[in-house]
Structure 1
Amino acid sequence: MHTQTLFDSSYSLWMTDPEVAFSSWLASQNIKKDSIEVYCWMWGKFCRWMAEHNYRLDTLEKDQLGQFINEEELVKKQGYRYVRLIERVYLRINSLPDAPRNTINPAKDAAKNRLAIGKDAPMGFFSVEDRRRLALIVETGQVDDGGGKGKTGKSLKGEAGIWKRERDLALLGMFLGGGLKVHEVNGLTISCILNAETIALPYDPKARGSDAIDGAGAGTFEHQVKLEPFAVLALQRWLHQRSLNTEGNVLFPSSTKGAAMDPSSIFRRIQRLLLEAGLDQINGARSCCQTLRNCFAATHLDRETPAGEIAQLMGFVDVVTVERVRFAYEQWKKGK
């Protein structure tokens, strides 16, 4: 493995000496030293295999990636990490100024298929109609369960009082109308509100996989979220209610004393709202915060929002993650 640091801005360098180009690329990334060593070892192994078979990056095909995984006897998880690493290398190569137009990424389809039919359950979504109904609930505070009283028959208004009702509806708005994750919502403070519709998420150095480039876990990074109008209205109602008698700076506290909510409590509150709206396990989608986050992405995909913009809104490291969500959404629509 070459150790000198060079600029990797040349397409021809990637084709003639991919190990040197890879080392140069990693040197420009904010990645821990031990992670760099692992990635260089993985990439070196793949490059040596390509050399043995007289393959090059500009002629490599998807089936040949499968050949590599089979010949090296990589188990499923190991093979997937290689595919994700190779996929990101091609994203870098294809972004270079002198890269040929319409260049291929042979690892792209393999990574998509792993996401859709891998060990984890497929991504869940709510239909457009159900998303609109949920948005109306968030906006107005009134539960419309589609004709019945949902599973519990209880109203939100009588469950825990106005304070909890407005907080929980605003929480629902953060997921469905902002695409946030539970740990992101749990870390919000009043100072994160930039204006009526914009939330700034603080950088979380402990986020799993924040420096990963092989897909071991895409982390979040500091970014801003533009809330959907219905979520803005719910947040404004909650801020008014919160200002009356709530201590501290936590945006969504567990009580008026101001302590942060436990993540499990957030899960339960969201599930309760979805249950009362009659949206538990509907169309195979789990009634959880992640499904609502998926729905936020689906709404933007339906609007044909540019992938780069979706990536920024949701805190994705790169746009390839948006393409995976798009693939999962298309598969869900076919199977629902």
Structure 2
Amino acid sequence: MTNKDLFKAGPAGWEADPQTSFDTWLSQQKGRGGAPAMRISSAEVYRAQWGKFLDYLQTRGVELTRVTDVHISEFLSSLHSENRSQRDRYRKLIERVFADLYRSKAPRGYVNPAGVAQKEQGAAWKAVAGNLPTSFLTLAERRTLVEHLLSPVVWQKSEEHWRQLRDRAMVATFLGAGLKVSEALRLTVNCVALHGEPWIKLRRPDSQFSHRTQPTPFARDLLARWLAERATSGCRGDLVFPAGVHGGAMHSVTALRAADAIVDASGVSENRLERASPQTMRNSFAAGMFEAGESPKSVGESLGFAVVLTAERLKASWQSWQTFQN
């Protein structure tokens, strides 16, 4: 019999040794996509987050079983170097732990304090500037995400296969062509030229201003695969990324959820405290151009910036971000 078998779950066990209790709980959690075990890198991040929370409680003399939503909100507000998305990752972890702490028998009227902290209107921990000024994916993260995007689609049902091909190609336009979500959702098939020198042409609504961007090889391949599937499926309309075969427009929330699901499935999110959003991918496309020696003017033209100064600021943010990473 192992120590894990001897360990008794419940409030008393968590209170007596919150770190060992957490390690035991963590060892029982599954990985992404139902994997039998969590990645070591992800477990290390969770241990660091939990350890920071325990340190906070210890300095204030608060027992684990007496933690309230006020304590959690104050702890989240104390994370001065974190943005709101990062703070919410801490909150979600705490919520999961407290759900386990009282999983057998919760006190009468008990409500998970981390859940209460989430619903608090005007909470100080939510009043942050947002993400770092500009966020990027590292080169390793980009490679991991591209590898997943190019991997075989394993869905058996035709509608799921169709949706996965669509979503992967859409995410490829963020990471491999620098499109915004709104641009991808307005994109029509006559604006994509993949034969010869590939280009995507974009026009702003109610404006004569247009720009074009050249997709990277992986994005071109994913777009070609999706457009072929789209054509053979009898999809109506001319939108490149419709909501369904009926051809209707996809909602931006659906696009964001699809992007998050792909990032999660790739494993990239497990090692990041910050969300890898479509905007992060767009910024990373620009970073790839800067890494290749492209000028701010060239990058600005590909991303559709009206003035070169915007691209110059993006380059400065990228250089600052690199220093922060090192």
Q: Which residue of 1 aligns with 2:174?
A: 175
Are 2:210 and 2:304, in contact at CA under 8 Å, matched by a contact in 1? yes
Q: Which residue of 2 aligns with 1:198?
A: 199
Are 2:194 and 2:224, in contact at CA under 8 Å, matched by a contact in 1? no
Distance, in Å, in 2 between the alignment partners of 1:305 and 1:157 is: 42
Q: Which residue of 2 aligns with 1:258?
A: 247
Q: Which residue of 2 aligns with 1:135?
A: 146
Are 1:126 and 1:282, in contact at CA under 8 Å, matched by a contact in 2? no
Residue type of the partner of 2:202?
L
Distance, in Å, in 2 between the alignment partners of 1:156 and 1:273 is: 14
Per-residue deviation at 1:286? 1.6
Distance, in Å, in 1 between the alignment partners of 2:266 and 2:176 is: 17
Among candidates 191, 212, 216, match of residue 224 of structure 1? 212
Are 1:281 and 1:287, in contact at CA under 8 Å, matched by a contact in 2? no
Are 1:139 and 1:231, in contact at CA under 8 Å, matched by a contact in 2? no
Alpha-carbon spacing, 1:156–1:303, altered in 2? closer, same or farther (3 Å):
farther
Distance, in Å, in 1 between the alignment partners of 2:287 and 2:155 is: 27
Per-residue deviation at 1:287? 2.2
Distance, in Å, in 2 between the alignment partners of 1:275 and 1:158 is: 21
Matches within 5 A, 1:289-328: 289-328=278-317
Q: Which residue of 2 aligns with 1:90?
A: none
- Residues 48-72 of structure 1: CA deviation (Å, up to 9, x unaligned): xxxxxxxxxxxxxxxxxxxxxxxxx
Distance, in Å, in 2 between the alignment partners of 1:247 and 1:205 is: 24
Whether 2:235 is the aligned partner of 1:242: answer no
- Residues 133-188 of structure 1: CA deviation (Å, up to 9, x unaligned): 2222233446xxxxxxxxxxxx6677962101110110011000000001111111
Distance, in Å, in 2 between the alignment partners of 1:205 and 1:135 is: 34
Alpha-carbon spacing, 1:332–1:202, altered in 2? closer, same or farther (3 Å):
same
Q: Which residue of 2 aligns with 1:49?
A: none
Per-residue deviation at 1:298? 0.6
Distance, in Å, in 1 between the alignment partners of 2:232 and 2:157 is: 20
Runs of at least 5 residues in structure 2 that lack an aligned partner in the other structure: 1-127
Q: Which residue of 2 aligns with 1:107?
A: none
- SS of aligned partner of 1:201: strand
Distance, in Å, in 2 between the alignment partners of 1:259 and 1:306 is: 38
Alpha-carbon spacing, 1:302–1:141, altered in 2? closer, same or farther (3 Å):
farther
Per-residue deviation at 1:283? 4.0
Residue type of the partner of 1:198?
W
Distance, in Å, in 1 between the alignment partners of 2:219 and 2:314 is: 22
Alpha-carbon spacing, 1:283–1:188, altered in 2? closer, same or farther (3 Å):
same
Per-residue deviation at 1:204? 2.1
Matches within 5 A, 1:1-336: 121-141=132-152, 161-196=160-195, 197-205=198-206, 221-245=209-233, 246-280=235-269, 282-336=271-325
Alpha-carbon spacing, 1:251–1:119, altered in 2? closer, same or farther (3 Å):
closer
Are 2:211 and 2:301, in contact at CA under 8 Å, matched by a contact in 1? yes
Alpha-carbon spacing, 1:286–1:250, altered in 2? closer, same or farther (3 Å):
same
Alpha-carbon spacing, 1:229–1:161, altered in 2? closer, same or farther (3 Å):
same
Are 2:300 and 2:311, in contact at CA under 8 Å, matched by a contact in 1? yes
- Residues 262-313 of structure 1: CA deviation (Å, up to 9, x unaligned): 0111000001000111222744442211010011011111111122111110
Are 1:311 and 1:322, in contact at CA under 8 Å, matched by a contact in 2? yes
Distance, in Å, in 2 between the alignment partners of 1:124 and 1:282 is: 15
Identity %: 28
Are 1:126 and 1:285, in contact at CA under 8 Å, matched by a contact in 2? no
Distance, in Å, in 1 between the alignment partners of 2:253 and 2:303 is: 22
Alignment root-mean-square deviation, CA: 2.4
- SS of aligned partner of 1:270: helix
Aligned residues: 195
Runs of at least 5 residues in structure 1 that lack an aligned partner in the other structure: 1-116, 143-154, 207-219
Q: Which residue of 1 aligns with 2:72?
A: none
Distance, in Å, in 2 between the alignment partners of 1:281 and 1:182 is: 23
Per-residue deviation at 1:243? 0.7
Distance, in Å, in 1 between the alignment partners of 2:223 and 2:136 is: 23
Alpha-carbon spacing, 1:159–1:326, altered in 2? closer, same or farther (3 Å):
farther
Q: Which residue of 1 aligns with 2:20?
A: none
Residue type of the partner of 2:210?
E
- Residues 16-72 of structure 1: CA deviation (Å, up to 9, x unaligned): xxxxxxxxxxxxxxxxxxxxxxxxxxxxxxxxxxxxxxxxxxxxxxxxxxxxxxxxx
